C-alpha cells in the first residue's frame, strides 16, 4: 500500500514536469529519478506506468522514457443553430424507410423485409451477367437517355398490350421511379390518393415532396373503386397511386372487374393512375395482366422494378407512360438523375436474356409458395385465433390482431424476443382501421426458421 501511495505521489510530481516539456523530449533516467526523489526502482517503474497509461509518456526499451505526442486540443463544437432558421419548418422523415432497410440484430429471425433472402437470389446468374456486361466494349459509354433499346423492348413485352419500347423509360429502381413520377405530376401542396394501407415508401416520398397523401380504403380484394370515386370528388385530386398486384402490405390482388372500375373512375375524374407493379415476377398463382395493358388513353403510368425479384442492389426499373406526361417524366429524370448507370442496364439485359432467367422465376415462385404455406401452418398451430390472409403472390401476409392490441408495442416486444415483424400502423396514411402486423415470408433463411419465428411471436402474444 505504501509503495502504491509513493508511486502515485511521484506520478503527480512527474506529471507536472512532463506537461512543461515538448513532445519527444526525454525524461531523466530511472537512476536519476531515484536519486532526485529518493525512491525505490519499483516506485519509479510504477509511476512511469501510471503516466504511460494516461498517454503522457512512452517507454522505448533501451532508449528511455519520452514525452508522448499531445493530441490537438478539442475544438469547441460548431454552433449550427442557424441552420434551423435557414431550413425552415419542412422536415423529411426517413425513420420508417430506414427501419425497413436496417438488418435485424444477430440471432433475430426476420419476419419483416422487402427483399428475397440471399439463398433465393440468382447470385451466380447475376455474377455471370455482370461479367458479360463488363466485357462489352461500350459498357461505360453514355447510354441512350431513355435506356438501352433492347432493355426497353424487354420491359415493353413484359407490360403487354400495345406498349412499345418508345413508351419505356429505364430508371434507377422503383423508389427513384416513384419520386420522379410524383414530382413530375404534382406540385407541392397537392393531394395524391393512395390505398389505405399502402407501401410505406410512397408515403415517405409524398410527404418529403410536400404532397398530401389521402387514404382510399382497400379491403381483401384491393382498392375500393366506390370510395375512390368519392375521394376524387372530395379532394379534386388528379393522381391515384395503387398496387393492383400483391398490395404491400396486405398481399391483395385487384380483380379484373375492379381493374376496369378503377380505370373508369380515373377516366371520369380526368386523373392519372400510377401502377406500382413491383411484384409482377413474384406471383405464386396466375395474376391479371397489368393495368397498363388495358389502358387506351395514356391514363396509366406503369412502374416495374426488378429489385424485388433479383437482389437489393440491382437498382433498375422502368416507367411506362404515353403522351405529354411521358415527356415530363423523362425531363424530370434528366434534370434530377441524368440516367441509370449503363453497366447496370447491360447487366439486367444480360440477366433477363439468359436461359437462367425463367428458371430463376420458377424457383422463386415455388419457394415463395412453400414459405407462405409454412407461415400459414405455423399461425394455425401457434395462434389459431388470429386472422391471417393467404396471398397469391408477393412477399407479405397481413395479420389482424385482437381489438385493443397495440401493434407497435407488440412489434417492439417481439424484437426483444428475437423475431422481427412490422407493425401495421405506419402503413396507413391516416388513422388505422385496426391493429395489424405485416409478416414477410421472403426474408428468413428457411421454412423452419419461419416456423420458429411464429413460435417466438406466439410467446409474446400469449405470454
d(CA 308, CA 364): 11
State whether CATH 3.40.50.2300 applies to domain 95-117+357-462: no
Q: For residues 217-236, b (16+ Cβ closer than 10 Å) or e, as one string?
A: ebeeebbbbebbbebbeebe
Q: Is the pLDDT of residue 2 over 80?
A: no
pLDDT in tens, 199-244: 999 999 999 999 999 999 999 999 999 999 999 999 999 999 999 9
pLDDT at 177: 95
**pTM of the full structure:** 0.81
* Domain at 123-354: CATH code: 3.40.640.10
Instruction: List strands edge to edge, sheet with 387-388.
Output: 387-388, 396-400, 436-440, 422-423
- What class is the 2-67 domain? mainly alpha
pLDDT in tens, 431-444: 999 999 999 999 99
- Three cell numbers written together for 328: 415530363
The verdict on whether omega for the bond into residue 430 sits within 30 degrees of 0, i.e. cis, is no
pLDDT at 308: 93
Q: Predicted confidence band at 363 (pLDDT cuts at 50, 70, 90)?
A: very high
Percent of the chain having pLDDT more than 90? 71
Contacts of 350 (CB under 8 A, 6+ apart): 128, 129, 130, 132, 133
pLDDT in tens, 31-79: 888 888 888 888 888 888 888 888 888 988 878 899 888 776 667 788 8
Domain range summary for the chain, segments of one domain joined by +? 2-67, 95-117+357-462, 123-354
Contacts of 183 (CB under 8 A, 6+ apart): 209, 332, 336
pLDDT in tens, 161-198: 899 999 999 999 999 999 999 999 999 999 999 999 99
- Three cell numbers written together for 252: 391483395
Q: At what angle do helices 30-37 and 41-53 cross, to 10 degrees?
A: 110
pLDDT at 459: 94
Amino acid at each position: 500500500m505504501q509503495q502504491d501511495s509513493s508511486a502515485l505521489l511521484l506520478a503527480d510530481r512527474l506529471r507536472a514536469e512532463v506537461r512543461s516539456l515538448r513532445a519527444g523530449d526525454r525524461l531523466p533516467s530511472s537512476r536519476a529519478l531515484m536519486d532526485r526523489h529518493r525512491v525505490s526502482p519499483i516506485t519509479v517503474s510504477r509511476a512511469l506506468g501510471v503516466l504511460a497509461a494516461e498517454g503522457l509518456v512512452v517507454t522505448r526499451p533501451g532508449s528511455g522514457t519520452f514525452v508522448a505526442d499531445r493530441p490537438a486540443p478539442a475544438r469547441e463544437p460548431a454552433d449550427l443553430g442557424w441552420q434551423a432558421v435557414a431550413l425552415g419548418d419542412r422536415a423529411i422523415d426517413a425513420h420508417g424507410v430506414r427501419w425497413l432497410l436496417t438488418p435485424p440484430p444477430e440471432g433475430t429471425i426476420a419476419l419483416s423485409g422487402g427483399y428475397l433472402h440471399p439463398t433465393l437470389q440468382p447470385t451466380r446468374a447475376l455474377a455471370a451477367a455482370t461479367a458479360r456486361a463488363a466485357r462489352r466494349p461500350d459498357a461505360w459509354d453514355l447510354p441512350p437517355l431513355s435506356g438501352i433499346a433492347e432493355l426497353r423492348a424487354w420491359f415493353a413485352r413484359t407490360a403487354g398490350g400495345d406498349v412499345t419500347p418508345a413508351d419505356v423509360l429505364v430508371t434507377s429502381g422503383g423508389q427513384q421511379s416513384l419520386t420522379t413520377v410524383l414530382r413530375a405530376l404534382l406540385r407541392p401542396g397537392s393531394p395524391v390518393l393512395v390505398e389505405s394501407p399502402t407501401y410505406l415508401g410512397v408515403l415517405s416520398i409524398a410527404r418529403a415532396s410536400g404532397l398530401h397523401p389521402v387514404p382510399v380504403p382497400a379491403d381483401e380484394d384491393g382498392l375500393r373503386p366506390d370510395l375512390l370515386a368519392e375521394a376524387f370528388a372530395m379532394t379534386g385530386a388528379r393522381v391515384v397511386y395503387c398496387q393492383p398486384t400483391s398490395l404491400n402490405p396486405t398481399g391483395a390482388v385487384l380483380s379484373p372487374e375492379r381493374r376496369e372500375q378503377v380505370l373508369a373512375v380515373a377516366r371520369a375524374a380526368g386523373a392519372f393512375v400510377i401502377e406500382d407493379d413491383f411484384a409482377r415476377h413474384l406471383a405464386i398463382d396466375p395474376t391479371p395482366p397489368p393495368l397498363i395493358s388495358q389502358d387506351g388513353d395514356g391514363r396509366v403510368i406503369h412502374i416495374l422494378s426488378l429489385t424485388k425479384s433479383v437482389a437489393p442492389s440491382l437498382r433498375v426499373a422502368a416507367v411506362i407512360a404515353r403522351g405529354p406526361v411521358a415527356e415530363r417524366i423523362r425531363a424530370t429524370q434528366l434534370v434530377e438523375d441524368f440516367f441509370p448507370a449503363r453497366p447496370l442496364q447491360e447487366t439486367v439485359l444480360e440477366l433477363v436474356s439468359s436461359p437462367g432467367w425463367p428458371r430463376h422465376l420458377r424457383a422463386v415462385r415455388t419457394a415463395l409458395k412453400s414459405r407462405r404455406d409454412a407461415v400459414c401452418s405455423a399461425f394455425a398451430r401457434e395462434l389459431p385465433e388470429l386472422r391471417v390472409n393467404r396471398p397469391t403472390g408477393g412477399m407479405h401476409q397481413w395479420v389482424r390482431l385482437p381489438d385493443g392490441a397495440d401493434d407497435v408495442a407488440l412489434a417492439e416486444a417481439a424484437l426483444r424476443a428475437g423475431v422481427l415483424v412490422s407493425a401495421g400502423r405506419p402503413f396507413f396514411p391516416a388513422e388505422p382501421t385496426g391493429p395489424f402486423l405485416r409478416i414477410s415470408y421472403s426474408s428468413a433463411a428457411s421454412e423452419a426458421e419461419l416456423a420458429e419465428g411464429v413460435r417466438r411471436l406466439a410467446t409474446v402474444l400469449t405470454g
